[in-house]
Amino acid sequence: MYLSTTEPTVAARALAEGHVAVIPTETVYGLGAVANDPAAVARVFAIKGRPVDHPLIAHVVSADAARAWATNIPDYALTLMDRFWPGPMTLVFHRSDRAADCITGGQDTVAVRVPGSPVTREVLRELAVLTDDPAVAIAAPSANRFGRVSPTTAQHAAQELGHLLEEGDVLLDAGPCEVGVESTIVDCTGDAPVILRPGKVTAQEIADATGLKLGEGSLVRAPGTLATHYSPQARVSLVDETEMSALSIDPQTGVIALASQPTPTGAVRLCAPNSVEEYAACLYRALREADSLELVRVIAVPPAGDGLAEAIRDRLRRAAAG
């Protein structure tokens, strides 16, 4: 039986001993292993049911630690590190010898970020002491079965993966995730940054910080970018406000929309956020609640705008493709 804890030191010790740990970040809960421990990383893939060519993100404690995993870091990437780390941004670099195929999906690149969660950074600090490695990384995808809805609470992670964890593994509970959707992923291997996955950090913020026009197109495979992803058992449909008012609703239908959107008669209201930030924070919880209630359909009215709203639309489109 795995151990549930609120103590970062306990999670760090489990990781150092070759176990896996469910860890909180500001985005979603992750399932982590020490990145240079192939056997532990293999368990992450096995527990998730994740294809081995799908890369993992290496979470490190600082930008200095990140440099140990990368080569040929461009100046604009240093600017992004300084501006957005710690925080919900993952940067992709040409990999150093540290980054083995087991976390890169066999690519010549590595994805790295400094998480915004102080709890996770404390785990990394403790782990650095235990392993005598200041640049130690935790390789961690989201703590759910591959393709399903990411967990934003420890309880959701336990429901999703608890039966697959073993004695010695740890689940670190730090409460609900603040952001609620996965990090922005930026390819930094070319002359200009390219967004591979939208998140809270926006394209405009990246352009403003670097003074560069963002590039387009990349051959890098990144986590969470398959056409079908983040999918509940319920069928997800995306509509606009006008279409919502004309829909025929049955009691097995759930609704996700801003609070300003009325709930159709007979539908189950799953989430009624007052802002885009609240929408992101409750999205995955609402999709999981739909399955808990055994709803057949979820109707979502995505928020308008760029930035975090774009990230929400991205996740909903992929959920709807499932």
Q: What residue spans in the chain does CATH classification 3.90.870.10 cover?
A: 3-210
Please tell me the predicted confidence (pLDDT) of residue 223. Answer: 84
State the CATH architecture for 3-210.
Alpha-Beta Complex (3.90)
As a whole number, the mean pLDDT across the chain is 95
**Spatial distance between the Cα atoms of 286 and 170, rounded to a whole number of angstroms:** 26
Q: Is the pLDDT of residue 248 over 80?
A: no
Q: Is the pLDDT of residue 227 over 80?
A: no
CA angle 9, 14, 161 (to 5 degrees): 110
Q: Is the pLDDT of residue 251 over 90?
A: no
pLDDT tens, 75-121?
999 999 999 999 999 999 999 999 999 999 999 999 999 999 999 99
pLDDT category at 199 given cuts 50, 70, 90 is very high
pLDDT category at 287 given cuts 50, 70, 90 is very high
| pLDDT above 70 as % of the chain | 100
Give the sheet arrangement for strand 297-300, strand by strand. 235-238, 297-300, 253-256, 268-271
**Spatial distance between the Cα atoms of 59 and 68, rounded to a whole number of angstroms:** 12
Instruction: Determine how many CB atoms are found less than 10 A away from the CB of residue 315.
Output: 26
pTM: 0.95
